[in-house]
Every structure is written in structure tokens, then in C-alpha cells.
Structure 1
Amino acid sequence: MTVEKPSWQSIAERKRAALQELLPVSLQIESVPSADNLPNVTGFIQTFLSPAELDITENHSAEALLSKLTAGELTATEVTKAFCHRATIAHQLVNCLSEILFPQALSRAEELDDYYRTHGKPIGPLHGLPISLKDQFRVEGTETSLGYVAWLDAVETQETESWLVKALKGMGAIIIAKTNVPSSLMAIETNNNIVGYTTNPHNRLLSSGGSSGGEAALLSLRGSILGFGSDLGQFLSAAYSHPRVHHSGADSGTFPQAGASIRLPCSFTGISGLKPSHGRLPYLKVANSMEGHETVPSVIGPMGHNISDLRFVVQKVIEHSPWLTDPKVIHLPWRSEIENEVHERKAAKRLTFGVLRHDGVVKPHPPVARAIEQTVHALEAAGYEVIEWSPPPHSEAFHILWNTFAVDGGIDIHRTLQQSGEPPVPQLAVSYGENLGHLPVSTVNDLWKIQQQRYDYQVRYLEYWNSTAACTRSGQPVDAIIAPTSPTTAYRPSEGMYFGYTGVYNVLDFSTVAVPVTKVDRAQDIQVEDYSPSGDLDAAIWKQYNPDLFHGSPVGVQVICRRLEEEKVLAIAEEVQATLG
């Protein structure tokens, strides 16, 4: 007797129903206002929380909250309940969760409280701290779908759990949820056939970005105090044509871009995030598409509400010596001396910055340009030197990145989709097609050529960086670059087209931090009607800007240092944020 295989629709529906059942009825709000009636819900969510819950979830950094937990002023159960309540409402408002672990989290919180009462001390440096994770982190007892219907029903075990997850748990952290991602991760908007589309808490008519969009949305609503995402290459996500592979030039607007998955969602939602260099943090047993592809490797990094929390959690992970287990992690302990050097240079006002205002492909919208100018003016007013940044053409890096992730012709993605029979969501189909065959399959020789092009580009970029010593007052190369995170502050669903401003730093493997700067102001950021675009892509993105629609949306910038300079980039990013007030 043949058993009929369930449809992909029924499998996805079953998962959505399971998620809904895990949202405690007592914590849910009765009526969710429409996005048209209430676009911004960052203040709305506060009305459903008690004063104690508001204090726990809003008034502390992760380190400050840990201090209260360590001192016994708050219990792990109190803190976990508060964040579970807020995360429940956040999911109702913006559709940001892919796995709900509230029962497990509360059980673990009780265990930690029992330990504290018995021993009079915390179990570890992250005792009782609620943490959320992008869906691709494997957590025991959960599914890791990456937005693929075919990957549901495979429950993670203790053996398959990600190294980072084990380390966080061992330090006392409490994993409360996993967050939504685009199917396969390879899109700049967060949408899949299981959970659906994740919107932006600051304007639910707009996108939270991708592929760490669910994580950014949850953090932005403070349904979590600290999280982890990943950053690599997510392609063009709009109904916009592109060549098949091995392009030259970027003048016609027929060019998909990639790379941004921590930084772009952070900037869109007003939070901070670190994209470290490959080999600094452990990727062991983290799920991914196209596993084994290492030409431009994916990296994991922290996302949160302030830069000091990012530094704190990175230090704690590195103190666990991940290089002893993950052979791809470089044996590089945290270097406090580099931070100290930055502080000395800061005190002497000897930090020097390069500023990239336009990447030569797509001009930033008025609020993004204003955020860059605001940052430059703040740095100069603080006594720092800022010079113009004119590196090798960024369009070269964009071509390298696209060719890298189109090299298999979409075989990996389409074969996974075919396992369940689900179609690609529009944000994925625009790059990889509705069916296999949209892109050609390249040869290993083609891949080798791409890898050599990347190496050559990295060499030339470093040569340029070193050459800036001739342009600075100190006679030393610039310490960091200030650049837009995106030409836009967000976009309507299915209108995301470009994030080449971040993809270049994936190719270069530089250490980069997303820093929130300001918000769109319709009175200041007026629409420019007589702009002359450099090409079709530039024209299409320029036309997307609407000061009334984007009013109030967060705007961020990137602070970029060289490869494996996480200590330096975090210290400098913190100073950039301080100068901005």
C-alpha cells in the first residue's frame, strides 16, 4: 500500500500551527492592528507590559542585566518571563520567530535560579541572559529549516547542536527563540513558504532586510537583549532583470548584488551588529545553503542594542578557545592591547577616517547621505581627521560575489526545493529563477578564476589603504572607513534591489560594525526631482524614495577596519557612536 506524501502546503501549515500553539495565550494581544493603521509598533508593544517587564527589557544593557542577575537583584525566571512576553507580542506584530523555545527557556531559568540559591553564585558569565538566534543555528530539540519546507521534521540532537549554542548554554545563557530567515538565506528580504514575511517594526509597510531580518526585527522590538546572525551574500530581491553570470560593467541596472545579512537588517531596524572576519568566531555545525562553498565564506556575528554588548559576548566566546574544536577558527585570543591602542589614539585625537559617500554604482537616498555627513561632521568636530575614500572600483567586488554564488547554477537551492515540491518565493526566484536552468552551471576552472580575481582585488584594495598614509596628517594609513550600509533606509516588500555597499566587505573579509545614526526626517530629507542617474539600476532605486513613506525609519552606517581587526573596529565604532551623541 502506497502512503501518499503530504503536500508542502500541509507541512508548512502544520509548522505554523505548532508555532501558534507555543505562543502562550495569556501573553498574546487580542487584536493586532493593521500595518496601514499602525506602521510603527516600537511604542505600541510597551502598552502590554508591566512596569517591571518594561524595566527589565528596556532599561539595561546585556552587561547591566547580567550584573543584576549576578547580584541576585533579578532572578533568571523573572528576566526570561519578561522577554518571552515581549517576544510573543513581537511575533504577532512582525512575524519574526521560526522556533519558539519558551517552555525550555523557563525550565532552564528555574534550574539556574535553583543553582544560584544553592551556591550563592552564578553558573557562568552569561547566567540567566536571554539570547535569540537566527534559524540556522542548530539547537537541540528544534528544527533548522532555513526556510525550506523539506528541512522540517528533522529535530536537532545534542550531537548536532552548533558549537556556539553549546558554548552559550555552558556559560549560562538561555536560548528563548530562533528567528525567521528567507528560504535558503539567499535573499535580502526575509520571506519563506513556512513562516512568511517579516516586516520592519519601525514601519510594517517596509522590509526588515535579510537574511538576518527576523533576528533584527525581534531585537528592535526588544523581544531579546542579544542575538546572533550570520553575514555572507544574499542576492538581489526584486523583479529586476540580470545577466546570467560572468558579467562585466555595472552600468545598466541588470546586476544582482550580495552581502549584508547582519549589517543591513541592523541598519534598517536601528540596532548594532558585528560582521567579523572569517575564522574569528566558530561556524561549526551551523546550517547553511551550499555547504562546502568557501570562496567567500559566511561568518557569524552578534547583534544587539549597543556596541559594548557585542564586544562583551565576542570576548566570552573567544575565551572558550573555539579553535580547539573548530579547525577553521584562527588561534587568536582577544587582544586588549589593540583596544588600548585605539583608546590612546582617541585621547590624542589621532584617529583618522576615510569616508565613502558613493560607491560609483548606486547613489544613496537623501537620508543615507545625511547620515554619512552627520557622522563626518561629528568626527571632525571631535578633532578627528576624515579624508575622502577612493578605492579600487567596488563594482569589481560585486561581480566577484555574484559569480561566486551563481557558480553552481542554482542546483543546490532548486534540488532542496524539489524535495518538498515547494516553489521559490519571489525574493529567491528573482535571482535563481522559478526552476533549475535559469542560470548556467560553471566549471571548476571558472571557480578558480573567481578565486584568483578575489585575491587580486584584495591585494589592490590593501595597497590603496596603505597609500592613504600619504594623505593623512599623521603620515599613517586611515584607521577605519565610514560608509553607507545601503543606498536605502529600507524598501517595500519585493523592492529590495541592491546592497553592494556591504558586499564589497564580504569579498575583502574586513571586520565591520553597523552603527545606528539617525532617522528619516521628511522635512530634512526631501526628494530630489532632477537627479540624473548613472544607469537603470541607479534610476530604479532612486525612484523608490518617498520621504513620507520612509519618515521615521532608522538610518545607519558602517564602520570598517581591516581583516581580523574585531577589537579595533568595535572600539572605533563605539567612539563613532559616542561622537554622534
Structure 2
Amino acid sequence: MTWEEIAKAKKASVDDAIPSEWRLEKNPTANKVRNVGEYLDETLPARENSITSCTVTELAGKISRGELSAIEVTKAFCHRAALTHQLTTCCSEIFFERAYKKAEELDEYFKKNGKTVGPLHGVPISLKDQVNLEGIDSAIGYVSLVNKPKNKDEVSNIAKILENAGAVFYVKTTTPMAMMSGCTSSNIYGYTYNSYNRLLSSGGSSGGEGALIGARGSPLGFGTDIGGSIREPSCFHGLYGLRGCSNRLPYCNVTNSFAHAPVLASVIGPMAWDLDDLKLVTKLIIDSEPWMDDPKVPPIPWREVTDYPKKLCFAFVSDDGAARPHPPIERALQMCKDALVAQGHEVIDWEPPVSFIECRDLGASIYGADGYKEIADECAKSGEPIVREVMVLAGNGTDLPIGCSHVHEHWEQNKLRYEYQQKVDKYWKSTAQQTSTGRPVDAIITPLWETCSFKCEDIDMFSSAYSSTFNILDYAAVTTPVTTADKTLDSKDETYTPISDHDRAIHEYYDPELFHGTPVGLQVVTPRYEEERAIYLSGKLRDALSERR
């Protein structure tokens, strides 16, 4: 078979896994139905909407009290996921019958024993395509990896932890080819669209997760992040997403590109529309002592944040030095400042000795240390072309710079990263001299992207440094929803004088009508291995914003 035939058959097999009674007779256009979640709320039964509007904590509680069954909850999320997929192309694998069987087994256990198997008993959890499950592909956007299901010895450690806690897996979600793009696109599935605004991108590389959870086709899922791949889709869909530090959560047996690259590693983390759920699942995984099975995981137990000082200080970033953020993002920054100050907290500017641009450029050089040879070699196995979105990341959008760096050059990249980390750590410590608390700033708050999203075909315009900077520094970060773009509040500043051609292009890209209603999120950043603190301070920001509404 040709690569085209394999790709077509794979996509068809996913679509065919949707029950016939759940298939849309006609897919409404994006202009007619922009917001998938709102559309589904209007068309699905009230009973199902009442289930899919519950948080993980609420679902687990209702199941444990016998108010809901695992099978009813699972079917409700399967139905919503099936419709969301047809409107956004967010699922890479659909296995509802397997999920029903698991849910029925859990219901039988509860009926027989009068208790649940664990804190996630009967709760559906979605997984990015690269998380391995027995008998299911982890193709990560490559035609060559289609129809190569994983065996039981290849199951991801994090999937085992979640399943042991009672989670029900029912879908895996789309990624861009090799997961190396801020726009989710592959030769198998095409584009994955934003479930809040189908005219725009879902982001990447965890774009399928973002679109699915954003439409409440999943209460919580897992993505990965090597340059913003959890945080970008989370911000684009109004979600909380945790980019933890290297190996804080177990990556063992998770399929990956550049899987064993030693200098800048990908991390895995949860994405959810409820912050308490994000904390619940992160704590659950850490409490399972994953370091006992994954030698890369540091033996750091969960450290509950207690007795934290009442007065906090947050450092804000207004832009990355390359392009002014769009009006909705600037308004979100001001909203956060005003809300925090109203709560008695302090805000200052973040002006580190290493720029976001320097960190972004170093990250790009590390990603391409092998000249993207791995991607070229994998595509050559099937004969498929490398998608344009990966070409954009690699450089000029037309070809890959095949030709590997020498090892000593790669070590120099690592040396430079280490130097950047030391400089910024030192600066963070020095902010104690600027705050009235007498402590260094408690967290940094920054945009995640210059825009609220973008049209899929326009990914080559963007080179956001807000996300990859914190991969270079290896800081913990939690995306935090703030507001949505509003065409009446977020008018274009026609008096602005751009500082460069790139800045001008980003400024001119803003269209109040196009972005109207699209979520606006920021990221709350804390020092290395302070995931608990990042989640706690994200909560402080959430609460402060809530008080202002």
C-alpha cells in the first residue's frame, strides 16, 4: 500500500469506530458553528450535559456514592467525544467498546464490594496519542507507525498508575507529525481545529487534547511539553495545564520523538478545565511513588503548600521583546495585575539578564541538533512527505537542514543552557531587593503566545518565545484561564508603531471579529521542582480574578 492509502485507511478506521447513531449527517461549517461546546450543550440530552459538566472530583464523588454508574458516565463522555471529533478531528484512536467493558467491570466491582477501586473509579481520562496502551497504536503523526499496536510490556507507566486508580480510557488524541509543531497537523488526520473557535488552530503538539477537553469531551487528559505543547493548547482552550519539571511525572514507556535526547527533554502533565482536578491527579501520580518504577523520576514526594505568606509578589512580563501581544492578552495581563493588587498582593516587572529570544533560539538549536534526521528517516520508511508545519519549525519551511551537529557542539548547547539557568536563578533570587515582602517574587506571570490562536495555515508567522523559555530554564508552569477575546473591549491600537517587520506582521494579524470568544490564558511560573507551588499560586490568581467578576 502507498502511504496515502495507509493514511486514508487509518483515518477511516477511527471515524468508523463512532457508532452510526452518533454520526453527524452533515457537518456544520465553522462559520455556522464556531464553538463546539456551546453547540453540543444545545443539541445533547440534558442528562448527558449534566454529567459532562462535572469535574473529575464531582464525578468520582457521585460514582462512589452510587449516584452515577461508571458505564453511564463513560457513555456520556464517549458520545460527546465522538461529536467533538467530527467537528474538530481531535481523536487519533477511538475504542469505546473497550471502555464500556472496563466501566461495566468497575460497576460490578462496586456492586459486589460496596467501594471503589480507587480515587478515579469510573472517571474517563483521555490521553495524547503517544501514551502507550496495549493493543493500540502510538503513531504520533507518522504513517510508518500506523498499524503497529503496543504490547503489554510497552504500556506507559503513567497509564498504569491512572488505571490502577480506576480511570477509564476511551480515546487517544491527535498530535502533529513527530509532535514537533505548534499546530496539530499530520498526513493522517489533517488539521485539528480549536473547539472554541473552529476557524482557528487547536495549537500543538497536544492539540487534540486541548480541543477535546475544551469542548468537555473529556474532563481531564494528558499531554506532553518540550517547548509549550501542553501550555499552548491549554491557553487556546481556556484550560489549566501543568508543565512540570524534568521527570517529576513518569515518562517511562511514552512514545516520543528524540526520545533519549539528554539536553532538553519532554515532560508529561495533565490538562483540565478545573484546577482542583489538576492538583488531584498530579498528587495521585506523585503519591504512587513513580520513582520506584522509573529511574529518571526524582524521589520527591508531594509537598502540600501550607502556611504560605498572605502577601505575595508576582513579576509580570508584558512582551517577549519580539512582538507586542494582541489586545486580548494585554487586557488579560492588566486584569490579573488589578485583581492581585486588589487582594493586597504586589506586582513588579520581570527583567531577567537572559532574554526570551535568547532562550527561544537556544531551544530551536537543541531541537534541531540532529538536523531533524530522525524525522526524515521515519518519513522515508513510508514515503510520506514531511508536513509543512514541521518544516516551519526546522527553518525555511521548504526543507530540513539534514546534517547533524557534532557531539561537542551539542555539549556546548547544554553548557549554554546551564549558564542561562544560573543567570536567571540568580536574578530571581535578587528580586528580593525589589519587593516589599523581603522575599524573591513568588511567581512570574507571562503570556503563552502573541495571539489567542491563529489560522492553521499561518503557523509560519509565529515564533513565540514565552513557552520554550521555561523549557530551557526547566521551571514549573501552570496555564491559567483569564478571559475571552471580546471585539468590543479589545479594539486594535491603530496608533501603535511596530519595532520590526515581525512585530508589524503580528500587529496587523489581529482581527477582533475572528478572535471574538476565543479563550485568553496566561502562565504562572515557579522555580524548578515547585509544581505544588505553581498549582497553589495559579489558584490564588484564579480566586483573585473571581473576586473581581
TM-score (norm 1): 0.92
Aligned counterparts of 1:143 and 1:541: Cα–Cα separation in 2: 38
How many residues get paired? 542
- What's the secondary structure of 1:280's corresponding residue? coil
AA at the equivalent of 1:428: V
Q: Does the 8 Å contact 2:389/2:397 carry over to 1?
A: no
- Which residue of the partner structure matches residue 498 of structure 1? 463
Q: Report the 3-state secondary structure (helix = DSSP H, G, I; strand = E; otherwise coil) of the residue aligned with 2:453.
A: coil
Matches within 5 A, 1:64-463: 64-232=58-226, 259-336=227-304, 339-342=305-308, 345=309, 348=310, 350-392=311-353, 393-432=355-394, 438-463=401-426
Q: 2: distance between equivalents of 1:492 and 1:176?
A: 29
Q: What code does the residue aligned with 1:333 have?
A: P
Rounded to whole Å, the distance in 2 between the matches of 1:540 and 1:438 is: 26
User: C-alpha deviations, 1:198-255, integer Å up to 9, x for none?
Assistant: 00111111001000000000001100111000011xxxxxxxxxxxxxxxxxxxxxxx
Q: Which consecutive residues of structure 1, in runs of 5 or more, have no partner in the other structure?
A: 1-5, 233-258
Answering whether residue 447 of structure 2 is matched by residue 479 of structure 1, we say no
- Whether the aligned pair in 2 keeps the contact of 1:414 and 1:435 (CA below 8 Å) is no
Question: Aligned AA for 1:495?
Answer: D
1:12 and 2:7 matched: yes
1:525 Cα shift? 0.9
Partners of 1:275 and 1:418 lie apart in 2 by 32
What's the offset of the Cα at 1:421? 0.4
SS of 2:480's partner is: strand
CA contact (8 A) 2:373 2:403 kept: no
- Counterpart for residue 481 of structure 2: 516
Partners of 1:439 and 1:419 in 2: CA distance: 16
State the secondary structure of the residue aligned to 1:89: helix
- Could you say which residue in structure 1 is the equivalent of 2:492? 527
Amino acid at match of 2:368: A
- Where 1:301 maps in the other structure, the secondary structure is strand
Q: Distance in 2 between matches of 1:224 and 1:474?
A: 41
The residue that corresponds to 1:553 in the other structure is 518
1:122-157 deviation per Cα after TM superposition (whole angstroms, max 9, x unaligned): 011210010000001001111000000000111111
Give the 3 Å change call, closer, same or farther, for CA 75–544 of structure 1 in structure 2.
same
Q: Distance in 2 between matches of 1:308 and 1:437?
A: 42
Whichever residue aligns with residue 94 of structure 1, its letter is T
* Matches of 2:140 and 2:36, distance apart in 1: 27
Deviation, 1:471, is 0.6
Three-state SS of the structure 1 residue aligned to 2:152 is coil
Q: For 2:256, give the aligned amino acid.
A: N
**How far off its partner does 1:49 sit?**
1.7
SS at match of 1:357: coil
- TM-score, length of structure 2 as denominator length: 0.97
Kept in 1, the 8 Å contact 2:249–2:267? The answer is yes
For 2:477 and 2:397, the matched residues in 1 are separated by 34
Amino acid paired to 1:307: L
Q: Which residue of 2 aligns with 1:468?
A: 431
Percent identity over the alignment?
A: 41
Q: Distance in 2 between matches of 1:161 and 1:437?
A: 32
2:5 paired with 1:44: no
Q: CA deviation at 1:41?
A: 2.4
Structure 2 counterpart SS, 1:341: coil
Letter in 1 for 2:297: V
Output the amino acid matched with 1:280: R
RMSD: 1.2
Cα distance in 1 for partners of 2:266, 2:71 equals 35
Task: Give the 3-state SS of the residue equivalent to 1:354 in structure 2.
Answer: strand
Aligned pair 1:542/2:503, yes or no? no
Q: Which amino acid aligns with 2:301?
A: P
Q: Which residue of 1 aligns with 2:19?
A: 24
CA contact (8 A) 2:195 2:237 kept: yes
The residue matched to 2:467 in structure 1 has which SS?
helix
Shift of 1:429: 1.9
Confirm or deny: 8 A CA contact 1:409 1:436 kept in the other structure: no
Distance 1:436 1:523, change over 3 A: closer
1:441 CA displacement: 2.4
> Aligned to 1:331, what secondary structure does the other structure show?
coil
**Which one-letter code corresponds to 2:380 in the other structure?**
Q
Does the Cα contact within 8 Å between 2:391 and 2:400 map onto a contact in 1?
A: no
Superposition deviation, residue 27 in structure 1: 2.0
Could you list the per-position Cα deviations for residues 270-326 of structure 1 after superposition, in whole angstroms to 9, with x for gaps in the alignment? 111110001210000001111211211100000001111000001111111110110
Q: Is the 8 A contact 1:511 1:564 kept in 2?
A: yes
CA distance in 2, matches of 1:16, 1:403: 33
Which residue of the partner structure matches residue 242 of structure 1?
none
Q: Secondary structure at the match of 2:506?
A: helix
Counterpart CA distance in 1 for 2:286 and 2:191 is 34
- Aligned-partner SS, 1:501: coil
Q: Which moved more, 1:493-502 or 1:550-559?
A: 493-502
Deviation of 1:435 after TM superposition, in Å, equals: 7.5
Is contact 1:266–1:273 with CA below 8 Å preserved after alignment?
yes
CA contact (8 A) 1:414 1:436 kept: no
Quote the Cα distance in structure 1 between the aligned partners of 2:160 and 2:133: 8
